[in-house]
Amino acid sequence: MEPGRIVLQGLRLLGRHGVLAEEKARAQPFEVDIEVEADLEEAARTDSLLATVDYGAVVSQVAALVENESYELLEALAGAIADLVLTEPRAAAVTVTVRKLRPPVAADLSSAAVSLRKRRA
């Protein structure tokens, strides 16, 4: 069986991430998408949570990171999320997209985003 994917889309959280002082002072909305690549064959065969990546645990850990840490760049935040997900032993690779839903720019922009992919070393 080919590696499978666990896809988590639209995780909305408040965080203090950005370069500007007001971005650090007041929480703003972010949206995170996570796609975990893993061998899901055993989980598909056994129907056991122990045989897969527990996405509930991933969501809780990512929420704690976004809400309690502070990064200037979306790239750094996405990288920290990817590193966190890859601590899950069954995760072989992860793609993380982080969207700032109210970017501080002088234009009508719905979001600014960074997407990156990391593999287990």
Tokens 């200037």 locate to 72
Q: Return the SS3 of 64.
A: helix
Q: How far apart are CA 85 and CA 33, in angstroms?
A: 12
Q: Which residue out of 100, 103, 104, 113 is catalytically annotated?
A: 100
For residue 11, what pLDDT is reported? 98
- Residue 1: per-residue pLDDT: 62
The dihedral sign for the CA sequence 72, 9, 60, 102: positive
Question: What phi and psi values does residue 8 have, to the nearest 5 degrees?
Answer: -115, 115
**Which domains are assigned to the chain?**
4-119 (3.30.1130.10)
pLDDT value for 97: 98
Per-residue pLDDT of the chain (121 residues; tens, 9 = 90+): 678 999 999 999 999 999 999 999 999 999 999 999 999 999 999 999 999 999 999 999 999 999 999 999 999 999 999 999 999 999 999 999 999 999 888 899 999 999 999 999 7
Catalytic-residue membership of 100: yes
Q: Look at residue 3 in the predicted model and tell me its pLDDT.
A: 83
